[in-house]
Structure 1
Amino acid sequence: MSQVTLADWASMPRNRAEVADGVLVMPPSLGARHQLAVTRLAYWLDGRLPALAAVELLIAEEPLTLRVPDVVVTSLTDLNVPRVSPEDVRLVIEVLSEGTVRTDRVTKFSEYAEVGIEHYWIVDLDAPVSMVTYRLVDGEYENFGEHTGKVSLDFDGVPLTLDLNALTTRYAQRP
């Protein structure tokens, strides 16, 4: 099988597929709990910062590596884009699900660091719902905190208070 190029990718129907080093990767189906958590997180963040859910992130063009993070906070003012570049991304958030743990904690962890994405947060929906925040320091991600319950963070001068438990409850927090 030949490697997938960006031109090949552009002609394919859109779904949650990704490309890693030119190879098409089909992630596992996402459960309803995962989808609701991502929707709630993106909605909540978008009330404070420009956030997008499931937007394509072009890691490398040759060989093509294209990821679809759960949530991206961007520096772009026009959010009607088919994909973003690492230089436009301020934060990537991945919500762990069965079948993505290794990819999110190892593969994407190193890919995002290599392209200079400054902030990477990983949310684990298993009880108790938790989040680990990483920040790029000298080209490597450093753990900047492990959180459960209500989290108060300062993200580039924007104070954020996030109730992680609200990501998995019926009544999501509002901006």
Structure 2
Amino acid sequence: MTVSWQAPQPTPIDWATFLEIEPDIRRDLEIVDGFVVPREQRGRDHQKVGTRLSLALERVAVAEMRGSGGGSCYETNTEVDVLLWEVPPTARKPDAVLHRCLPDTEQLTAEHCVIVVEVLSTWSERRDRVHKMSDYADAGIPHYWLVSFDKVGALTIERYALSDRRGPYTHVGTTHRDMGSVAVTVTDPFPLELLWSELEIAPPV
């Protein structure tokens, strides 16, 4: 059974109750320490950048899987519930996430995630830089990226990582579109390279 969601919320709820909220309503909600919170406003350009990032990460993940001969398996997703911890229930919806493969019936959790990405906007920057960064680090997600954008597409990518898989995050690099054609080149979690051209959202001219 699914239920609609009515704010305000006087007391915390559990994870099972959160999942009973109608999917079309829950897609714009997150849950933090048992309290349901609305997601920030997201314009079309914001969503397009998240989609481009997910597709670019999927490309390098497929290359890694082929290169490993089946030794590794990765998937990408956009705006999907990532359960960080169940008591009290806290789940975020990253704009893009690279995670290890799991069955469709299994809940995506922090332990599956390799890279989570948040696209910055006027309404989300404080939440992404403070609250979500803290939550993702506390949950032990190894890599966190923050991406700014303009009308062309992704503009900067800030990369953060856990030291010895423990928080808080350490800033490990920032790239800007004016610095060259390569947006990201790293060796961890595996060798990967993303190009700025993959992250463009403006119509080609």
TM-score interval (norm. to shorter): 0.7 to 0.9
Question: Structure 1 counterpart of 2:17, which letter?
Answer: D
Aligned pairs, how many?
170
Secondary structure of 2:97's aligned partner: strand
Cα distance 1:132–1:8, how it changes in 2: closer, same or farther (>3 A)? same
Is the deviation greater in 65-74 or in 137-146? 137-146
- Equivalent-residue separation in structure 1 for 2:197 and 2:134 (angstroms): 25
For residue 32 of structure 1, what is the aligned residue in structure 2?
44
Give the counterpart of 1:86 among 110, 118, 130.
110
Q: What percentage of residue pairs aligned between the two structures are identical?
A: 28
TM-score with structure 2 setting the length: 0.76
How far the C-alpha of 1:147 sits from its partner, in A, is 0.6
Call closer, same or farther: CA 1:146–1:60 in 2, change over 3 Å.
same
2:158/2:173 contact within 8 Å kept: yes
Unpaired runs of 5+ in structure 2? 1-9, 62-74
Alignment-derived partner of residue 48 in structure 1: 60
Name the TM-score, length of structure 1 as normaliser.
0.88
Q: Which has the larger radius of gyration?
A: 2
Answer yes or no: is the 8 Å Cα contact 1:130–1:164 preserved in 2: no
Q: Which runs of 5+ in 1 are unaligned?
A: none
Structure 1 pair 152–97 and aligned structure 2 pair: CA distance change class (3 A): closer
Q: Give the corresponding residue for 2:88.
A: 63
Question: What is the RMSD of the two structures over their aligned residues, measured on CA atoms?
Answer: 2.0
Matched, 1:160 2:193: yes
SS in 2 for 1:97: coil
Separation in 1, partners of 2:199, 2:57: 13
Aligned amino acid, residue 15 of structure 2: L
2-structure distance, mates of 1:5, 1:67: 15
Q: Hey, what's the Cα distance between the residues in 1 that align with 2:123 and 2:197?
A: 21
Contact 2:76 2:98 in 1 (8 A): yes
CA distance in 2, matches of 1:13, 1:145: 39
Higher strand proportion (structure 1 or 2): 1
- After TM superposition, the runs of 4+ consecutive aligned structure 1 residues lying more than 6 A away are none
Give, as a single letter, the amino acid of the residue that structure 1 aligns with 2:95: D
For the pair 1:135 / 2:135, whether they are aligned, the reply is no
